[in-house]
Each structure stands twice: as C-alpha cells, then as structure tokens.
C-alpha cells in the first residue's frame, strides 16, 4: 500500500477504507465475549484484580474531553513512536494545524489560516516562557531546540486564548511542557543518525539531591544536513545546534512545589540572505553562516491547597541573540506572573492573575534593515479574571472571563471571552464560545525601514530601490471569534471531536503602496518604490476540524483528522492562503517481540503565501512516515524511521528569500536510546 507513488488521493482513501475495514472484520470474533455487568463482578478474587487492566481516563484527559475549547495534545508517546526530532514536526499531529517546512532550519506554523514564516497569530510558550519574538511577531523555530525525550506533552489550543494567555494568542496557543525532574531520573543516552538529521547525541542525567529534591542536567548536539532546492542544487541551509541545561523540582509531601530550570543554546545556520546595493550589482545573494545563541532561567512556585485551589508564581529571564539575516537582534525579557485559582462557594471556580513583562530589543542596523529607534524598551502589564459558573453541577457550566492588557507599543487592549459547556452525559461534550483577541503590531510593522531590493529600470535611468516602511500609527489587529464543538465517546475505544469556527478579523496590517518618489539620500539619487504598513485589511475565515481516536485492539490505535478552512480576506493577494483541506491518519501498532510499528500519512492541500509579495503556489502533497521500534530490554530502545516515503521530494512552503524553493526530501533516521 505504501508503494503508491503517484498522487491520487481517491485511490489512497480506498486503500484507507480497506485498512479500516480489515480489522473490523477480524475483530468481530474478539468482541463476542459473554456480556457481564459490573455489578456481577463482586466475586473477582484479589489475585484476579491485580491483573485487571483498567481503562481509566487520566485526570488531564478527562479535562481535555470536557474542555470548552478546541484543544489537542501531542503526547510523549506520540513523539517517541514517530521519532519526532523537533517541536514543529510534532505540531504536524495536531488536527487542522498548518505546518510547512521552509528549509532545513525554518518552519512556518499556523492554525486556522495566515501561514507565514512567522506564524504571527500563534503564541508559543515553552514551560511557561514565551518564545514569541516582538520584533517580527513570530517564532524562530530553529532556536527552540529541546530534548524531545524529556517532553511531557505539547498542548495546543486552536482559536483565541487571549483571556488567559494574553495578546497574540489570536489563532492559537502552543504550550510545550517538559517532564518534572522526578520523572526523568537516571541516565539517558541517545544517539541518532540519518539522512537529514545527520547526527544527534543527547545525554541526560537525573538524580535526587535531597529528599524530594530532584534534578536533571542535559546536553544535546545535533547536525542537520542541507536540503536541495527545486533546481537540484543545495539550498545551503545546513545547521547545527548545541544545547545544555538543567531542571530541579522540589516536590515535598506538602502543598508547595518549587521548580528552577535553565537552558543555554548555540546554533550555527548557513542561511541565504540578500545584500541590496544602489550601485551594480543591485542584489547579491549570500550564503552566510549565522550564529544564534540564547539562554534563560525560570523559577516557579506552585502552592496547591486543593483540587480547586492553587496559586502559581513564576518569573524568568530570557536572553536571545538571533541573526535575522540583516543583522543581529539582542532581546532580553524579564517576566513575572501570578495566577490564583479558588472556589467561590460551591458554584464558582474563580481564576485571576496578573503579570508584568519588560523587554529590551536592540537590532544592529544595516543598509537593508534599519530600526528607529535602534533600541526599544517594551513594557507589558496585564490583569485577568475568569469565573467558571456551575449552572448545573457536572452538566452545565458558563465561563466568563476578561483580560486588560497595557502594552507600551499600543493602547489598552480588552480581551474577553464567554464559553458555555454542556456535558449531557459522561461521554458527550458540547461547547460554544465567543471571544475577542488582539495581535500587537510587531516592531517591524511599527518602526523599521526595509530596503528589500534594488534594480535598474532602464540603462540610463537612476536606480530604483524597493522599500517597506513600518507605520508608527499601526494599531492592534482585532479578532472576534465564534466557536462551537462536540465531542463524543460512543464506546470506550472510540472518540470523535468536531469543532467549527467563524473568525472575523479587523484592522489587519497589510502593505499599502506609496506614490513613487525620488530620494537623494543615501546616494546616488534614486527612485523610491515603497509601501507602508496600514491597518487596511479585514475579512473572515471559517472552517471545521474533525478528529477521531480509535483503539482498535489493546495493541492497535488509529488517529485520524480532517480539516477544512475557508478564507475571505481583503485585499486577497496580501494574505497567505493556508491549505483548504488537510487529512491525516496515524497508526500505532504494538507487535510481539517488543516491536512497535508506527506510521502516519498526511494529505495537505495546496497553499500559497501572499501573492502580492511574490510568493508562489505550493501544490498539494502527501507525506507518509513509517517507523519500527524495538525495545529488547527495559533499558534499550532502537528505532528506524523512514519519512516522506511516497515522494522523493516535495515543496511545503514558498519563501521569498531564495530564488528556488527548498524541497523536503525522503529521509531515514535511526536512533538508539539507552536508559539506566
């Protein structure tokens, strides 16, 4: 089945039908055990009870099933089974998520439309620390390397989460959560080799310093090979990343838990960049080796009084030195947050919080990109409150919340939301929500001048310079979102999750052309063809996201999801078009002899970046990944994965930076993990 090479989706789906029906027929004999009700089971002996497998739903999962938002979780098990090596690759698993690899080091990640290198409407937090950059409004994914083995889960909320998470949580919030040091005790050494992720070595050691005080230290080094572009040449985008850090958790048998963690990373990436000049040659393409580095330290105190009463105080410092392709950006972030949850009588679960963030951003200017002023000081203060009102206990909840946020760049923002949650039975959830969210303009959209290109219009004429200007009068983009969802678990082994949304956007920032002018400085005198950011875009998006999990047998799980997205934004050509349709099917199969066979197929519809900016259309593609894991001993695991097995290469994203698009190739990865 996996040998199907040509792209004919309908054939694929027929194959999938067989795939799905086969076990149904085979399973018929297995399910015909005599029915026995629970009440008759009182005679089970103690020896029998010890071996009964329970189908309990963990606390978190219960909350997930009955949560009034489009929430999905990528688990540590997903990451391990599919041999995922980066956060963006793990985000592919989320229903409706648009993940496209730009080149070896860069990904475009978004939810519900607007895909771009900087998925500007997604807020990303790693262990509670924001990695959203204020200068370009997005995430440098290559600077977010983590030890994948130490991740507990990645929680993704599609749709606005601004009331709890703040500005820029417009189309989604991604929470990357690592395991407590208590759960990562002992030595872990893993090494991998492959055709794209060439080699990677991770060493982690966890121990107990004192009673209930756990720690881990880790180091990781990865080398990624360069990818080929559509001209068959190297994209010159090889990179490497070195990472080290620690985490300590003090978890005494008291209501207090203390966490202290820190990271430092250094990465080198050979990235294509452009040199623009008013004297010939107008544009020089360069493949320069850039370095990025950064570090952070975070402390968190959680005081839990009961299930419904908890207080968290968190503070961190984060330093980033990121080469933007035009110069180096230095970003320092100081952040403190307090969150307090408690019950108000038996009807209300109340949560409130407040936070303050100070950031200084310094960008070295170049002819291509200048920042005015060069150094910026950003202050962000927020306060929020949300009440979960039990109208009918365990059945009907009304959730009302609001956040006030004061950003030194723009005026006050108000980000309210209202949600209704109805759980008519334990196995069904219906929810609906209306929320408002805002995206703060990036520094790039406010205060920069980008000289993007230069050319000679005619042999004797002065040169022409193409520039983009930030607009200091830019205001925040606004979203009003309507969402509704239904989850059902018809039987223990099968569940469905359906979400629909309708998003109305206003004041979207787009580039509006200025009249052509003559500029004398910098010399020589030249024509200036420029555009400026204006809050001139608007429109709506709508769509559905359906996912299903099916435990076919105790040892076989299938997960499928389908999403459909409609976009009506004006001006049309100024916005990226995410794929209209996406489908994925994942299969996790446990085999005898300690083997696991895991596979995933992704069908992604065609997409395009903003056509006015010269982006090309990306055709639809199919990805198929297949992996075999062998765990002969408790301490040893060997895995072999093949990725993109169906096509020798495909393009996932159109980037302006390179004349030829980078192709994602077929690849293999082998990994050995040893734990003591």
Partner 1 sequence: MNKSRFQHHSLRGQHWLAQVIAWAACLGLWCESCLVGRAEGSLTEYQVKALYLLNFIKYVDWPPNTIAGSNAPTTIGLCGESKLGEALKIVAAGKSIGGRLIAIREIGATNDFSPCQILFISDAESFRMRQILEKASALPILTVGEGAAFAQNGGIINFVLKNGTVRLEINLSAAKKAGLTISSRLLAVADVVKGKAD
Nearest approach in angstroms of CB 153 to partner 1 is: 18
Nearest approach in angstroms of CB 545 to partner 1 is: 13
Strand duo 607-608 + 428-439: pairing: unpaired
> Alpha helix locations (H) across 284-390?
none
Structure tokens at 468: 């983009």
Nearer to partner 1, 37 or 520 (CB): 37
Say how far apart CA 59 and CA 153 lie, in whole Å: 14
Q: Pick the binder of partner 1 from 234, 315, 475, 581 (CB under 8 A).
A: 581
Nearest approach in angstroms of CB 568 to partner 1 is: 17
568 touching partner 1, by CB under 8 A: no
Structure tokens at 491: 């039987």
In terms of Cα–Cα distance, which of 253, 199, 191, 192 is closest to 222?
A: 199
182: left (phi over 0), alpha (psi -120 to 50) or beta: alpha
Structure tokens at 254: 């008291």
Say how far apart CA 147 and CA 145 lie, in whole Å: 7
Q: Is the dihedral of CA 159, 164, 167, 173 positive or negative?
A: negative
Say how far apart CA 382 and CA 563 lie, in whole Å: 34
In terms of Cα–Cα distance, which of 381, 333, 332 is closest to 355?
A: 381
Residues 284-313 that bind partner 1 (CB under 8 A): 304-307
Q: Pick the binder of partner 1 from 605, 609, 610, 642 (CB under 8 A).
A: 605
Instruction: Find the part of the chain contacting partner 1 (CB under 8 A) among 30-38, 94-102, 400-408, 432-440.
Output: 30-38
667, containing H or E segment: strand 667-675
280 touching partner 1, by CB under 8 A: no
Nearer to partner 1, 39 or 345 (CB): 39
Ranges of beta strands (E only) in 571-635 are 581-591, 595-604, 607-608, 617-618, 621-633
Nearest approach in angstroms of CB 359 to partner 1 is: 38
Nearest approach in angstroms of CB 440 to partner 1 is: 35
Instruction: Find the part of the chain contacting partner 1 (CB under 8 A) among 51-59, 261-269, 355-363, 631-639.
Output: 51-59
Nearer to partner 1, 622 or 669 (CB): 622
Contact call for residues 148 and 126 (beta carbons, < 8 A): no
Residues 477-509 as b or e (16 or more Cβ within 10 Å = b): bbbebbbbbbbbbeeeeebebbbbbebebebbb
Q: How far apart are the first and last CA of the chain?
A: 39
Quick one: how far is CA 491 from the chain centroid?
Answer: 31
279 touching partner 1, by CB under 8 A: no
Contact call for residues 462 and 442 (beta carbons, < 8 A): no
Q: Pick the binder of partner 1 from 273, 580, 612, 631 (CB under 8 A).
A: 580
Residue found under tokens 């908890």: 310
Nearer to partner 1, 254 or 374 (CB): 254
Could you give the string, one character per residue 85-124, with x where binding to partner 1 holds by CB under 8 A and - elsewhere?
----------------------------------------
Nearest approach in angstroms of CB 344 to partner 1 is: 18
Measured in degrees and rounded to the nearest 5, phi and psi for residue 99 equal -120, 120
54 touching partner 1, by CB under 8 A: yes
Structure tokens at 375: 């150094």
Say how far apart CA 242 and CA 245 lie, in whole Å: 11
37 touching partner 1, by CB under 8 A: yes
Residues 482-511 that bind partner 1 (CB under 8 A): 490-494
550 touching partner 1, by CB under 8 A: yes
Instruction: Find the part of the chain contacting partner 1 (CB under 8 A) among 235-243, 317-325, 440-448, 544-552.
Output: 544-552
Q: Pick the binder of partner 1 from 3, 53, 520, 593 (CB under 8 A).
A: 53
668 touching partner 1, by CB under 8 A: no
Nearer to partner 1, 267 or 607 (CB): 607
Nearer to partner 1, 305 or 672 (CB): 305
Structure tokens at 657: 């930076």
7 touching partner 1, by CB under 8 A: yes
38 touching partner 1, by CB under 8 A: yes
DSSP 229: B
Nearest approach in angstroms of CB 253 to partner 1 is: 5
253 touching partner 1, by CB under 8 A: yes
Residue found under tokens 């001139």: 536
Could you give the string, one character per residue 195-234, with x where binding to partner 1 holds by CB under 8 A and - elsewhere?
-----------------------------------x----
168 DSSP β-pair partners: none
Structure tokens at 296: 């952070």
Contact call for residues 461 and 523 (beta carbons, < 8 A): no
Ranges of beta strands (E only) in 277-308 are 283-306
Nearer to partner 1, 575 or 621 (CB): 621
Nearer to partner 1, 56 or 521 (CB): 56
Number of residues that bind partner 1 (CB under 8 A): 64
Give the interface with partner 1 as residue ranges (CB under 8 A).
Answer: 7, 9-10, 12-14, 16-17, 20-21, 24, 28, 30-33, 35-39, 41-42, 44-47, 49-56, 230, 253, 255, 304-307, 490-494, 546, 548, 550, 560, 562, 580-581, 583, 603, 605-606, 616-617, 619-621, 661
């Amino acid at each position: 089945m996996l040998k199907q090479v040509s792209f004919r989706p309908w054939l694929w789906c027929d194959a999938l039908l067989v795939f799905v029906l086969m076990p149904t027929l085979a399973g018929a004999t297995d399910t015909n055990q005599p029915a026995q009700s629970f009440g008759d089971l009182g005679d089970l002996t103690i020896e029998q009870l010890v071996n009964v497998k329970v189908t309990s739903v963990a606390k978190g999962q219960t909350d997930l099933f009955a949560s009034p938002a489009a929430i999905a979780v990528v688990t540590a098990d997903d990451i391990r089974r599919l041999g995922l090596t980066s956060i963006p690759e793990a985000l592919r698993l989320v229903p409706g998520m648009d993940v496209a690899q730009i080149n070896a080091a860069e990904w475009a990640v978004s939810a519900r439309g607007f895909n771009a290198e900087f998925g500007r409407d997604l807020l990303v937090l790693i262990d509670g620390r924001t990695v959203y950059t204020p200068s370009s409004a997005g995430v440098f994914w290559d600077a977010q390397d983590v030890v994948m083995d130490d991740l507990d889960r990645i929680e993704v909320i599609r749709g606005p989460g601004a009331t709890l998470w703040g500005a820029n949580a417009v189309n989604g919030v991604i929470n990357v959560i690592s395991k407590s040091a208590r759960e990562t005790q002992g030595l872990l050494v893993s090494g991998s080799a492959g055709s794209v992720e060439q080699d990677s070595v991770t060493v982690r050691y966890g121990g107990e310093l004192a009673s209930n005080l756990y720690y881990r230290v880790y180091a990781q080094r990865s080398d990624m090979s360069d990818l080929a572009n559509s001209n068959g040449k190297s994209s010159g985008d090889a990179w490497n990343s070195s990472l080290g850090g620690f985490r300590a958790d003090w978890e005494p048998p008291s209501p207090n838990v203390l966490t202290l963690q820190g990271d430092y990373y250094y990465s080198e990436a050979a990235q294509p960049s452009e040199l623009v000049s008013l004297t010939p040659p107008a544009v020089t393409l360069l493949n320069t080796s850039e370095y990025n580095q950064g570090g952070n330290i975070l402390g968190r105190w959680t005081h839990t009084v009961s299930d419904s009463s908890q207080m968290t105080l968190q503070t961190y410092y984060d330093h980033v030195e990121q080469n933007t392709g035009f110069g180096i950006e230095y970003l320092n972030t100081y952040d403190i947050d307090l969150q307090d949850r408690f019950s108000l009588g038996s009807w209300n679960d109340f949560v409130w919080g407040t936070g303050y963030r100070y950031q200084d951003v310094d960008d070295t200017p170049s002819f291509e990109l200048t920042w005015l002023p060069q150094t910026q000081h950003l202050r962000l203060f927020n306060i929020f409150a949300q009440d979960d009102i039990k109208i009918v206990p365990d059945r009907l909840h009304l959730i009302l919340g609001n956040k006030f946020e004061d950003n030194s760049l723009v005026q006050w923002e108000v980000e309210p939301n209202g949600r209704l949650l109805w759980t008519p039975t334990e196995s069904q959830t219906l929810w609906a929500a209306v929320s408002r969210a805002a995206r703060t303009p990036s520094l790039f959209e406010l205060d920069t001048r980008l000289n993007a290109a230069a050319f000679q219009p005619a042999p004797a004429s002065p040169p022409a310079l193409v520039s983009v200007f930030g607009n200091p009068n830019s205001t925040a983009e606004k979203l009003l979102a309507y969402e509704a969802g239904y989850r059902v678990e018809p039987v223990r082994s099968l569940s469905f999750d359906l979400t629909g949304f309708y998003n109305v956007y206003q004041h979207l920032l787009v580039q509006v052309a200025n009249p052509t002018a003559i500029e004398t400085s910098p010399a020589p005198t030249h024509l200036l063809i420029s555009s400026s950011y204006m809050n001139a875009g608007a429109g709506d998006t709508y769509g559905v996201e359906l996912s299903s999990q099916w435990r076919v047998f105790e040892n076989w799980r299938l997960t499928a999801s389908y999403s459909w997205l409609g976009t009506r934004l004006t001006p049309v050509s100024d916005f990226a078009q995410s794929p209209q349709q996406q489908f994925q099917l994942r299969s996790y199969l446990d085999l005898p002899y300690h083997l696991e066979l895991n596979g995933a197929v992704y069908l992604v519809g065609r997409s395009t970046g903003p056509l006015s900016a010269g982006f090309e259309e990306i055709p639809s593609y199919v990805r198929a990944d297949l992996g075999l894991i062998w765990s002969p001993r408790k301490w040893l695991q060997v895995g072999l994965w093949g990725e993109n097995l169906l096509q020798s290469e495909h393009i996932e994203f159109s980037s302006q930076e390179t004349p030829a698009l980078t192709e994602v190739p077929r690849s293999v990865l082998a990994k050995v993990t040893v734990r003591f």
